[in-house]
Amino acid sequence: MKSDAALSENQISWPLTVIVSLCWMLPGLFGHDPWKADEPYSFSMVRHILATHDWVVPTVAGVPFMEKPPLFYLTAAIFTKLFSFALAPHDAARIACAFYMGITFAFAALTARELYGTGRGRVSILLLLSCVGLQSHAHKLLTDIALLSGFAVALYGFVLSRRRPALGGLWAGTGIGIGFLSKGLLAPGILGIIALILPLVSREWRRRDYAVTLVLICAAALPWIMIWPFSLYRTAPRLFSEWLWVQNFGRFLGTSKQGPPNKPAFYFYTLPWFAWPALPLAGWAIWKEWRDRAGALRRSVPAVALVVMFVIFSVASDGRSLYTLPMLVPVVLLAVPAFDGNFHRASRIIDRSGALLFAITALVLWLGWIALISGHPAGVAAKLRAISPAYVPSFAVLPFVVALVYTVGWGVIALRAPASWNNSLLRWAAGMTMIWGLCMSLWLPWTDAMRSYRSMVASLQAHLPQTRPCIASIAIGESERAMLEYFAGIQTRMVDSIADVPCGYLLMGGRRGTLKDNIGSDWTLVWRGGRPGNRKEEFMLFRAVNRPQSPN
């Protein structure tokens, strides 16, 4: 392995790492409405906290929503309050995403430095932001971002505990607490199993000071784990029971039948693309250090963490690519030693191929945007506008300048950085940042017009009387109800069947083509619609015939 002096010769500077990280982190946080699937209901809980100062019972459009604890939503509410003078509420709330990603980057860097020495922290940051699956999720109002931070903090605590048992235990317990208040029992369960398995894989973990670490982990985690459940139990015992048994054990075991079902081998084919390019680099690094005892000891925490996470997520009843996020931290930590090797001919080929890929992608994005704005070539412009029919082409100076800066910045890094493993990673990270920057500047208005509920809610509202009527809803999800409340101040009353409707209006949702526009002689269809460009979902509004239109 190279010495620290040799490694530093082509080392990436900290200022450049911070600049690339910020350029990656900021696009996508501002300038668009909440996007389905998770942002609308997440933002509704943020608004509830701001309006009522009640952080104990998470609430979406007036209805308790006990799926997740409130840490992320409370953090987003604080940022919304702080930046309300300058930003739209949903944009200000997304600053919480940057806050938690900053924590994740910082503790991934601290862990890599603790494991591999000086200079490896910035490698871990660039490798993490280079992962394909992280980009789109890290910029949305998702409590899983705070969960990711909790795992990053906890793994740092475990690694640090070998050298400083007390401080490591405090950090690990804090990470467990952050994870718990982000998504419930998942983080304490996984990290608890990791803590029990570590002594089985290496005698270095079978020491007395590790017992001290475990005690301090419990002590540090206890306040995080107690304060919210205790407050919830005192406020609403029934909701506490629903959260504990239905949203934790029920979702994991599948008895609640609420989340998307986990398909066989789902994470076997999801993790490779989600963690690209870190996963193959991790495999290469493990192969290189297979017989190195010191390397095996360094790998113990991230390797055990990855295996435990993979198994737990694989046996869980629910499955989404989003749930892969926590696995990125151990994958990246395992991949860091890959950048200790020589930059040989095969490495150069891979490096140049990546640069060519980013150049072609950027060219396609620029040419597509020019076609969209100018209308030429007509065939390309027509197809793009058909995908997002509510989009009105217009040229804006600021997004254009931002896209130009991102493109030129990547070009400078790609052409001027000397050939080395570290600079190869820098070029990849800069390329991912450029592509994301182009998508979130040039293409953001086009995407937002397609994914926002704003125009749909405005269209529906035009078919309602000015006095807010009572509206019942059937098969309307949390996201739709949240956006009805945000854009029009409408809170629907959820019912299970038409016979249960207590209102003069009924809003129904479903897959396009499955809804009936005639639900009986007592109801008449007054509106139907959906998000522009979305060909899967459809909504219908009915008005009761010969029934008084009571206010909501």
Q: How large is the C-alpha radius of gyration of the chain?
A: 25
Question: Exposure string (b/e) for 119-138, b if CB count within 10 Å is 16 or more?
Answer: bbbbbbbbbbbbbebbbebb
Q: Would you state the pLDDT for residue 348?
A: 74
Question: Per-residue confidence at 2, pLDDT binned at 50, 70, 90?
Answer: very low
pLDDT in tens, 501-544: 889 899 999 888 788 888 888 899 999 998 887 888 899 999 99
In three-state secondary structure terms, 483 is helix
Question: Does 414 lie in the same domain as 320?
Answer: no
417 or 183, higher pLDDT:
183
Task: Tell me how far apart the terminal alpha carbons of the chain are, to the nearest angstrom.
Answer: 70
Cβ(60)–Cβ(481) below 8 Å: yes
Most confident of 41-45, 206-210, 281-285, 500-504: 41-45
Question: Does 317 lie in the same domain as 214?
Answer: yes
Q: What is the DSSP track for 388-406?
A: STT------HHHHHHHHHH
Q: Would you state the pLDDT for residue 1?
A: 37
Question: Rounded CA gap, 532 and 447, in Å?
Answer: 11
Q: Would you state the pLDDT for residue 359?
A: 95
Q: Would you state the pLDDT for residue 374?
A: 92
Q: Would you state the pLDDT for residue 548?
A: 60
Q: Would you state the pLDDT for residue 341?
A: 66
In three-state secondary structure terms, 318 is strand
Question: Does 394 lie in the same domain as 325?
Answer: no
Q: Would you state the pLDDT for residue 9?
A: 44
Question: Does 307 lie in the same domain as 389?
Answer: no
Q: Would you state the pLDDT for residue 343?
A: 56
Is residue 166 over pLDDT 90?
yes
Q: CA of 111: how far to CAs of 8, 122, 161, 350, 365, in Å? A: 18, 11, 11, 27, 36
Is residue 11 over pLDDT 90?
no
Question: Does 241 lie in the same domain as 106?
Answer: yes
Cβ(277)–Cβ(428) below 8 Å: yes
Q: Would you state the pLDDT for residue 342?
A: 62
Q: Would you state the pLDDT for residue 37?
A: 80
- Domains in the chain: how many in total? 3
541 or 351, higher pLDDT:
541
Task: Determine, yes or no, domain membership for 551.
Answer: no
Q: How many CB atoms lie within 10 A of CB 477?
A: 15
Is residue 106 over pLDDT 60?
yes
Total number of residues shown for the chain: 552
Q: What sign for the dihedral angle of Cα 385, 390, 396, 400?
A: negative
**What does the CA dihedral 18, 19, 24, 26 come to, rounded to 10 degrees?**
100
Per-residue pLDDT, averaged over 257-276, amounts to 88
Question: Does 459 lie in the same domain as 447?
Answer: no
Task: Determine, yes or no, domain membership for 429.
Answer: yes
pTM of the shown model: 0.92
Question: Rounded CA gap, 64 and 481, in Å?
Answer: 13
Is residue 303 over pLDDT 90?
yes
Per-residue pLDDT, averaged over 97-116, amounts to 96
Per-residue pLDDT, averaged over 239-247, amounts to 93
Q: What is the DSSP track for 73-131?
A: HHHHHHHHHHTTTTS-HHHHHTHHHHHHHHHHHHHHHHHHHHHH-TTHHHHHHHHHHH-
Question: Rounded CA gap, 272 and 278, in Å?
Answer: 9
Residue 112 class from Cβ within 10 Å (0-12 exposed, 13-18 middle, 19+ buried)? Answer: buried
From 315, 340, 365, give the residue that closes a domain.
Answer: 340
Question: Per-residue confidence at 295, pLDDT binned at 50, 70, 90?
Answer: low
H/E element, 493: strand 493-494
Is residue 6 over pLDDT 50?
no
Per-residue pLDDT, averaged over 290-306, amounts to 81
Q: Would you state the pLDDT for residue 346?
A: 59
Question: Does 521 lie in the same domain as 478?
Answer: yes
Two tokens at 465? 């009387």
Question: Does 76 lie in the same domain as 37?
Answer: yes
Two tokens at 310? 């993979």
**Sequence-distant (≥ 6) Cβ neighbours of residue 407 within 8 angstroms:** 362, 366, 434, 438
**Sequence-distant (≥ 6) Cβ neighbours of residue 292 within 8 angstroms:** none
From 400, 427, 451, give the residue that closes a domain.
Answer: 451
Question: Does 410 lie in the same domain as 465?
Answer: no
Q: Would you state the pLDDT for residue 368?
A: 96
Task: Determine, yes or no, domain membership for 101.
Answer: yes
Is residue 481 over pLDDT 50?
yes
Question: Rounded CA gap, 246 and 549, in Å?
Answer: 37
Q: CA of 112: how far to CAs of 47, 127, 173, 296, in Å? A: 38, 11, 19, 15
Per-residue pLDDT, averaged over 327-347, amounts to 82
Is residue 40 over pLDDT 80?
yes
Q: CA of 206: how far to CAs of 34, 159, 209, in Å? A: 49, 14, 9
Find where tokens 């809003």 sit. Answer: 507
Q: 28: alpha, beta or left, given left = phi > 0 and alpha = psi -120 to 50? A: left
Task: Determine, yes or no, domain membership for 225.
Answer: yes
Respond yes or no on whether the N-terminal peptide bond of residue 70 is cis (omega within 30° of 0): no
Cβ(471)–Cβ(169) below 8 Å: no
Question: Does 239 lie in the same domain as 153?
Answer: yes
1 or 13, higher pLDDT:
13
From 285, 314, 340, give the residue that closes a domain.
Answer: 340
Q: Among residues of the chain, what percentage have pLDDT more than 70?
A: 95
Provide the domain limits for residue 534.
Answer: 454-544
Find where tokens 């209006």 sit. Answer: 505
Question: Does 249 lie in the same domain as 176?
Answer: yes
Q: What is the DSSP track for 522-549?
A: TEEEEEEE-STT-SSEEEEEEEETTS--
Cβ(457)–Cβ(483) below 8 Å: yes
Question: Does 435 lie in the same domain as 289?
Answer: no
Is residue 549 over pLDDT 70?
no
Q: Would you state the pLDDT for residue 204?
A: 86
Question: Rounded CA gap, 119 and 259, in Å?
Answer: 41
Which H, E and C letters describe 198-234, residue by residue? HHHHCHHHCCHHHHHHHHHHHHHHHHHHHHHHHHHHH
Is residue 13 over pLDDT 90?
no
Mean pLDDT of the chain: 90
HSE, side-chain direction, 13 A CA sphere, residue 501: 27
Question: Rounded CA gap, 486 and 469, in Å?
Answer: 16
Task: Determine, yes or no, domain membership for 364.
Answer: yes
Question: Exposure string (b/e) for 499-534, b if CB count within 10 Å is 16 or more?
Answer: eebebbbbbbbbeeeebeeebeeebeeebbebbbbe
Task: Determine, yes or no, domain membership for 2.
Answer: no
Q: What is the DSSP letter of 551?
A: B
Task: Determine, yes or no, domain membership for 324.
Answer: yes
Q: Would you state the pLDDT for residue 3?
A: 39
Task: Determine, yes or no, domain membership for 5.
Answer: no
Question: Rounded CA gap, 283 and 334, in Å?
Answer: 8
Long-range contacts from 342-351, C-beta under 8 angstroms, 24+ separation: 342/421, 343/419, 343/420, 343/421, 343/424, 347/421, 347/424, 348/419, 350/424, 351/419, 351/424, 351/427
Per-residue pLDDT, averaged over 89-111, amounts to 97
